[in-house]
Structure 1
Amino acid sequence: MAQPDPKDLMKRYVRWPLEAGVFWLWLAIFALLPVETASNVGGWLGRHVGPHLRLSRRATRNLRLAMPELSAEQRSRIVREMWDNLGRTAAEYAHLRTIGDPAEGRVECIGLENARATTSGQKPGVAFSAHFANWEVLHLVAAERSRRSASIVRDPNNPLVSQILTIRRSVHGGQLAPKGTNGARTALATLGANGLVAMLIDQRMSDGIAVPFFAHTAMTAPAAAQMAVRFDAHFFPVRLERIGPARFRMTVLPSLELPTEGSRAERIGTLMTQANAILEQWIREQPGQWLWLHRRWPKETYRELGL
């Protein structure tokens, strides 16, 4: 019989429970605070602690790659704003029920008429966005406003943290479709029933397709465009903005026109190029509200630029 791997045992019985305990305690503490106070405290912690973490170097490198015209002072300000937003978002997980409740008026929704055919179940739709503001708002509104919805999410590597997170995300219903085979089945079933699939498309996918992003090639997950083309679905850009402590604006733009010329791969590439261009525009307008911590471009791109 094979001997248990000590590293695996340490992970399962020490590290995972410890991480889950810290996460649960974080949520419990912030749940005791009023929602806006929780957001403000999280923002204070984020902007005072985050910039001093080694991870901030990645954000700075990404900024130098994406917008080389910025000064060091401007990059520093954006990184600080990013950490402020991230701290707020982390604290707001304790209050997702309140934030997603339409009666609370914390999410200003603009352009919902552009998605009415989908939210009413007449035509399938794919809503795409990115890690802006509090990105969980996309799922909360989709669950509240759609007859049937599924949000594609990336579960944490720690299954205990994932369980806690799933409970928080599910407070207003809607299906959660973890990335992978099972999640894909859920998404396809939702679209087959004329439902809405919501997803964030701004993370690197090593086996994705090469699409321009800030004048550099970025490996991009094509799933959103693949589903839109397969089901002849609406393809909505959804912009998320933070307009105050635990207050947001969500704008649903008109569906992009699905290309009709070229091979299926070419049509998917065209759609994802348009989608990346839209995200880039939003990021340029409000760079402090995007999560700059992802390693979005290939390692070779960073090396070529000496980053």
Structure 2
Amino acid sequence: MKRLFLRARAGLRDAVKPVTGAILGSIAVSVLRMTRYFDPQRTADTFASVTRGIGPWLPEHKIGRANLTAAFPEKSPEEIDTILMGVWENLGRVAAEFAHIDHIWNLDPENPEKGRIEPAPGSIEKFLKLRDDGKGALVFASHLANWELPALAAPAYGLESAVLFRRPNIAAVDRAIQDIRAVNMGTMIATTHDAPLRLAQALQDGIHVGMLVDQHFGRGVDVTFFGRQAKANPLLARLARQVDVPIHGVHVTRLPNHRFRIEVSDEVVPVRDADGKVDVQGTTQAITSVIEGWIRKAPEQWLWLHRRWR
């Protein structure tokens, strides 16, 4: 009898799931579209206040505290809580800013102090070198500050790019997000089975390939991240093994007054094995160490709310 009940409950859940997904998708799309009609800076402030209020009641808050406590054992509980509230605030701002992502990029290289985007020293020179060297490149980023912004830099200044992304599970949300991203984010490549082949071909064609590489990847390679073992996606290192192109990181830091600083890292030299081929694990570790350095400078701006260590 119990087994029949469990089967019936599972069947009901499976039957209801598409309906609830459609409802949630419609709500999310409506909020996204409505947000575009309001002042982006005031909306970001409002969303930040909402997520600061709601965040501590969600299960992800407990995950975030555990992650931060393990990553920063020298910090007090009060310091951890301060960082964690900053994480929720940043997440709210990202949500509000995404609705305006098709026109949020505002950088005047001649007068950087007048726009919302401020390039870090040396970053424009590195960017121009990448754009004009006649070959592709691998560019990694992380969930820092507004992690959508690095993808806007390339097409804004004539650098041909392709960005790997993961589709949302809800179709209506996926369509709405793609409509916004398609305006000025270059070629978008979804994480399907043929994505590695498409990315490798793009590199061979001289296109610059970007991806976020800081989340847990169950089939990944072992790396050390904040002193603990974690699994990282080796795709970028595997592509570097196939196609000889430079590797750079790009990260954004949130500044006061709704401004951002964007920085292009120095070239990350891949680790090589005894035969001179790119060592996938070693190169993935080198990339992970760069990202850890970014996070340590602004831990309240990284997305600590997922189970990065498992």
TM-score by length of 1: 0.89
Would you say the 8 A contact 2:151–2:185 is kept in 1?
no
- Higher-Rg structure is 2
1:255 — aligned with what?
A: 267
Would you say the 8 A contact 1:35–1:246 is kept in 2?
no
Moved more, 161-170 or 205-214: 161-170
SS at 2:24's partner residue? Answer: helix
**Structure 1 gap segments, 5+ residues each:** 299-307
2:119 — aligned with what?
A: 109
Closer, same or farther: CA 146–294 of 1 in aligned 2, 3 Å: farther
Moved more, 211-220 or 224-233: 224-233
Closer, same or farther: CA 218–92 of 1 in aligned 2, 3 Å: same
1:15 matched to 2:27? The reply is no
Moved more, 27-36 or 95-104: 95-104
Closer, same or farther: CA 53–192 of 1 in aligned 2, 3 Å: same
Match of 1:126 among 138, 146, 149: 138
1:288 matched to 2:300? The reply is yes
2:187 — aligned with what?
A: 175
Q: Partners of 1:123 and 1:116 in 2: how far apart?
A: 12
Would you say the 8 A contact 1:118–1:195 is kept in 2?
no
1:51 matched to 2:61? The reply is no
Closer, same or farther: CA 244–155 of 1 in aligned 2, 3 Å: farther
How is 1:40-79 mapped onto 2 (pairs within 5 angstroms)?
40-79=45-84
Closer, same or farther: CA 75–210 of 1 in aligned 2, 3 Å: same
TM-score by length of 2: 0.88
Q: Partners of 2:256 and 2:286 in 1: how far apart?
A: 29
Would you say the 8 A contact 1:117–1:123 is kept in 2?
no
1:36 matched to 2:41? The reply is yes
1:95 — aligned with what?
A: 100
Would you say the 8 A contact 2:270–2:286 is kept in 1?
no
1:201 matched to 2:207? The reply is no
Would you say the 8 A contact 2:270–2:278 is kept in 1?
no
1:297 matched to 2:304? The reply is no
1:162 matched to 2:174? The reply is yes
Moved more, 262-271 or 26-35: 262-271
**Structure 2 gap segments, 5+ residues each:** 1-10, 109-113
Q: Partners of 1:246 and 1:196 in 2: how far apart?
A: 28
Q: Partners of 1:186 and 1:100 in 2: how far apart?
A: 27
